[in-house]
Amino acid sequence: MISGLVQILFFQCLGELISKLWLSFLPGPVIGLVLLLFWLIIKKEINQSLALVSDGFSKYFGILFVPAAVGVVLFLPQLKANALPIIGALVGSVILTIACSGLVLKLVSKNGDSHE
């Protein structure tokens, strides 16, 4: 279990380092997560200790959204004043996401059929 935690922290620190030195517009944990993903793709397996730690973390993801919800409540007056544009942006982004997902699925399914 310690080995899995060390791997996660190593890639987060590496991501922070890259963020500070070269890619300051991207958060370090995001860069670290992408690096970890590429590492796992290259290895083509997830070791037991990393799987154990990641399963443990994923059980408590809901707790991570509590500070964000508190932040939303702090900006409630601004949200009320701009409710219509915010709702429009949310509805528009959902429609675009569904349309893009459908288009990607259509393209992938065409490419998948042609290889058979």
Q: Are residues 72 and 109 in the same domain?
A: yes
* Burial tier of 107 (Cβ tally within 10 Å: 0-12, 13-18, 19+): exposed
Tokens describing residue 4: 């899995």
| pLDDT of amino acid 83 | 92
Mean pLDDT of 16-24: 87
Q: Are residues 37 and 76 in the same domain?
A: no
pLDDT tens per residue, range 62-87: 777 777 778 788 888 998 999 999 99
Under 8 Å between Cβ of 9 and 57: no
Computed over every residue of the chain, the mean pLDDT equals 85
| pLDDT of amino acid 57 | 81
What is the domain extent for residue 87? 65-116
**How far is it between the farthest Cα atoms of the chain?**
57
Q: Are residues 52 and 6 in the same domain?
A: yes
Domain count, the chain: 2
Q: Are residues 10 and 36 in the same domain?
A: yes
Q: Are residues 86 and 53 in the same domain?
A: no
pLDDT tens per residue, range 31-42: 888 998 898 888
| pLDDT of amino acid 26 | 81
Mean pLDDT of 1-27: 86
Distance CA 113, CA 52 (A): 37
| pLDDT of amino acid 47 | 85
Mean pLDDT of 43-55: 84
